[in-house]
């Protein structure tokens, strides 16, 4: 009679080692594929939002939506130029440089590659005014998602109770990669990163409107100041380079991955952005950032958010 020969201990250990090696090779691949799928879904969301904004433009004399970004959390502010609406980290009234601790901005620096991006936004006194006669319990109508949502039917809440409930709804205004919240503490130059609460749940949506499209251009890094930020909604024809000017972008791109900046502080690896002409793509952080081509670290890049939409020359 012949007896079947079983595995020896050495053979079993070899098989286990092979399985462990294959797992070590394949699991990171699966993780990257999942991250890529999430980024693609986030990119698709931002493209749909941009197309909705362009449909709005066609209905309103080809003028950009006179909207501002949500900054009041679950209970949207009743007026965009009063607290807590002004407590938002999207207003750049001074340069913000990478802090190696990753929790706040330096107020000064000289390495242009070390800039953190804080887009232009409303300040007290220059936001669209609350319409006369609108009851205080009615939502402020000029938040950008309220203006664009009717064109994409994404289900933006219409009253305070629905607003608070809707923050947990994962709709088109929510990036599935969103895992971190950024809050401003003490002004726009103190950014603190918190975990455990999604950016969407704190601010209201994950995509930011480029408000240079509705303000006169006056960048503090080019000699301007915030008192010159006056409302001036631009027409589509007034945007000199619609394929280069960003209309919507990620609220906080670090949820797509981070790398280290010149001061060893964390910076995003890439951003999902949509442009005024309607196309959307994922671009590296160095391209997204406000790069000055006259500086050596800028690399002559021309795709920048913080530039005059009306200027033919992106290097100005």
pLDDT in tens, 280-294: 999 888 788 766 656
Residue 209 and residue 80: Cα distance in Å, rounded?
A: 15
How many Å apart are CA 27 and CA 44, to the nearest integer?
26
Residue 316 has pLDDT above 50, yes or no: yes
CB-based contacts of 253: which residues, under 8 Å, 6+ apart?
A: 268, 269, 270, 271, 272, 285, 288
- If one compares 278 and 90, the residue with the highest pLDDT of the two is 278
Q: What is the predicted pLDDT for the residue at 164?
A: 47
pLDDT digits (tens, 9 = 90+) for 41-78: 899 999 999 999 999 999 999 999 988 887 666 667 77
Cα 198 from Cα 183, distance rounded (Å):
11
Predicted pLDDT of residue 171: 76
> For residue 108, is pLDDT > 90?
no
3-class DSSP string for 2-71:
CCCCCCCHHHHHHHHHHHHHHHHHHHHHHHHHHHHHHHHHHHHHHHHHHHHHHHHHHHCCCECCCCECCC
Kindly list the domain boundaries of the chain, sorted by start residue: 33-298
Query: Which of 86-100, 147-161, 209-223 reaches the highest mean pLDDT?
Result: 209-223
The beta-carbon contacts of 190-197 under 8 Å, at least 24 apart in sequence, are 190/104, 190/105, 191/89, 191/96, 191/103, 191/104, 191/105, 191/116, 192/103, 192/104, 193/102, 193/103, 193/254
Check pLDDT > 50 for residue 278. Answer: yes
What's the confidence (pLDDT) of residue 99? Answer: 76
State how far the Cα of 303 lies from the Cα of 306, in Å rounded to an integer: 9
Contact 130, 78 (CB under 8 A): yes
Mean of per-residue pLDDT scores for the chain: 77
Look at residue 297 and tell me whether its pLDDT is greater than 60: no
* 148 vs 24 pLDDT, higher one: 148
Give yes or no for residue 135 having a pLDDT over 60: yes
Sequence-separated (6 or more) residues with CB below 8 Å from residue 292: 112, 221, 298
User: For 146-160, how does the pLDDT look when each residue is reduced to its tens digit (9 = 90+)?
Assistant: 888 888 875 555 554
Between 33-47, 91-105, 188-202, the lowest mean confidence (pLDDT) is in 188-202
pTM to 2 decimal places: 0.82
């Amino acid at each position: 009679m012949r007896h079947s020969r079983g595995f020896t201990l050495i053979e079993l250990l070899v098989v286990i080692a092979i399985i462990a090696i294959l797992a070590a090779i394949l699991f990171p691949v699966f993780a990257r594929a999942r991250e890529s799928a999430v980024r693609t879904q986030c990119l698709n969301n931002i493209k749909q939002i941009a197309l909705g904004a362009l449909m709005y433009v066609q209905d309103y004399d080809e003028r950009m939506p006179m909207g501002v970004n949500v900054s009041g959390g679950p209970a949207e502010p009743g007026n965009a130029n009063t607290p807590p609406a002004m407590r938002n980290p999207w207003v750049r009234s001074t340069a913000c440089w990478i802090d190696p601790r990753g929790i706040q901005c330096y107020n000064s620096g000289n390495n242009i590659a070390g800039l953190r991006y804080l887009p232009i936004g409303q300040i007290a006194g220059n936001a669209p005014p609350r319409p006369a006669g609108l009851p205080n319990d009615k939502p402020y109508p000029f938040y950008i998602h309220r203006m664009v949502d009717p064109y994409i039917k994404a289900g933006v809440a219409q009253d305070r109770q629905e607003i608070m409930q809707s923050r947990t709804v994962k709709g088109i205004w929510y990036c599935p990669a969103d895992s971190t919240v950024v809050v401003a503490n003490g002004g726009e130059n103190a950014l603190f990163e918190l975990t455990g609460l999604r950016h969407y749940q704190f601010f209201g949506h994950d995509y930011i409107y480029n408000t240079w499209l509705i303000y006169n251009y006056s960048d503090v890094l080019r000699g301007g100041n915030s008192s010159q930020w006056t409302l001036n909604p631009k027409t589509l024809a007034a945007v000199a380079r619609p394929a280069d000017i960003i209309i919507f972008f990620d609220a906080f791109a670090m949820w797509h991955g981070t790398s280290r900046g010149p001061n060893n502080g964390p910076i995003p690896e890439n951003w999902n952005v949509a442009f005024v002409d309607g196309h959307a793509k994922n671009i590296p952080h160095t391209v997204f950032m406000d790069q000055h081509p006259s500086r050596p670290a800028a690399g002559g890049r021309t795709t920048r958010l913080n530039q005059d939409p009306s200027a033919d020359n992106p290097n100005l």
